[in-house]
Structure 1
Amino acid sequence: GAIFGIAFIVGPVFGSLLSSISPAFPFWFAGELATANLVGAIFFLPETHNDRKKGGKINFNPFVPIGRAMKDVLLRSRYAAWFFFGLATSMLQAIFALYLGVQFGIKTTLIGFIFAGMGGLMAFNQGILLKRFWLKKFQESFLEIWLFIFFAVAFLLMGIGNIYIFLFGLVINVFAQSILRVVISSRVSGMAGKEKRGEVMGVMASVLSAAMITGPLIAGVVFEAHPSLPFVFGALSLLAAFVVMKFACKPGQEKYDQESIVPEVL
Structure 2
Amino acid sequence: GPVLGGLLGTFGPRVPFYFAAGLAFVNFLIALFFLPETLDDKHRRRFEWKRANPVGTLLQMRQYQGIGWIGLVFFLMTLGHMMYPAVWSFVSSYRYGWSEQQIGFSLGAFGLCGAIVMATVLPRVIPRLGEWKTAVIGLTFTAASAFGYAFASQGWMIYAVIVVGCLEALADPPLRSLAAAKVPPSAQGELQGAMTSIFSITSIITPLLYT
Q: TM-score, length-normalised on structure 2?
A: 0.89
Once the two structures are superposed, the pairs formed by residues 172-211 of structure 1 within 5 Å of their partners are 172-176=164-168, 178-211=169-202
Paired position in structure 2 for 1:88? 80
Confirm or deny: 8 A CA contact 1:158 1:167 kept in the other structure: no
Q: Does 1:59 align with 2:59?
A: no
Deviates more, 1:64-73 or 1:109-118: 64-73
Q: Does 1:23 align with 2:13?
A: yes
Paired position in structure 2 for 1:72? 64
For residues 23-58 of structure 1, the C-alpha deviation after alignment (integer angstroms, 9 at most, x for no partner) is 21111111111100000000111101123368x643
Once the two structures are superposed, the pairs formed by residues 1-266 of structure 1 within 5 Å of their partners are 11-52=1-42, 57-61=46-50, 62=53, 63-131=55-123, 133-163=124-154, 164-176=156-168, 178-220=169-211
**Mapped partners of 1:201, 1:110: distance in 2:** 34
**Mapped partners of 1:78, 1:105: distance in 2:** 39
Give the superposition deviation at 1:113.
Answer: 1.2
- Equivalent pairs counted in the alignment come to 207
Confirm or deny: 8 A CA contact 1:103 1:161 kept in the other structure: no
Confirm or deny: 8 A CA contact 2:87 2:210 kept in the other structure: yes
Deviates more, 1:68-77 or 1:81-90: 68-77
**Mapped partners of 1:123, 1:66: distance in 2:** 28
Give the superposition deviation at 1:167.
Answer: 3.0
Paired position in structure 2 for 1:239? none
Confirm or deny: 8 A CA contact 2:132 2:175 kept in the other structure: no
**Mapped partners of 1:165, 1:158: distance in 2:** 8
**Mapped partners of 1:122, 1:35: distance in 2:** 27
**Mapped partners of 1:30, 1:57: distance in 2:** 34
Deviates more, 1:58-67 or 1:109-118: 58-67
Give, as a single letter, the amino acid of the residue that structure 2 aligns with 1:58. F
Confirm or deny: 8 A CA contact 2:113 2:162 kept in the other structure: no
After TM superposition, the runs of 4+ consecutive aligned structure 1 residues lying more than 6 A away are none
Q: Are the structure 2 counterparts of residues 22 and 166 from structure 1 closer, same or farther at C-alpha, using a change threshold of 3 Å?
A: closer
Give, as a single letter, the amino acid of the residue that structure 1 aligns with 2:172. R
**Mapped partners of 1:181, 1:208: distance in 2:** 12
Structure 1 vs Structure 2 CA RMSD: 2.0
**Mapped partners of 1:91, 1:216: distance in 2:** 8
For residues 80-119 of structure 1, the C-alpha deviation after alignment (integer angstroms, 9 at most, x for no partner) is 1111111111112210111111111121111111122222
Q: Are the structure 2 counterparts of residues 64 and 34 from structure 1 closer, same or farther at C-alpha, using a change threshold of 3 Å?
A: closer
Give the superposition deviation at 1:71.
Answer: 4.0
Confirm or deny: 8 A CA contact 1:160 1:166 kept in the other structure: no
Confirm or deny: 8 A CA contact 1:151 1:172 kept in the other structure: no
**Mapped partners of 1:52, 1:209: distance in 2:** 30
Give, as a single letter, the amino acid of the residue that structure 1 aligns with 2:39. H
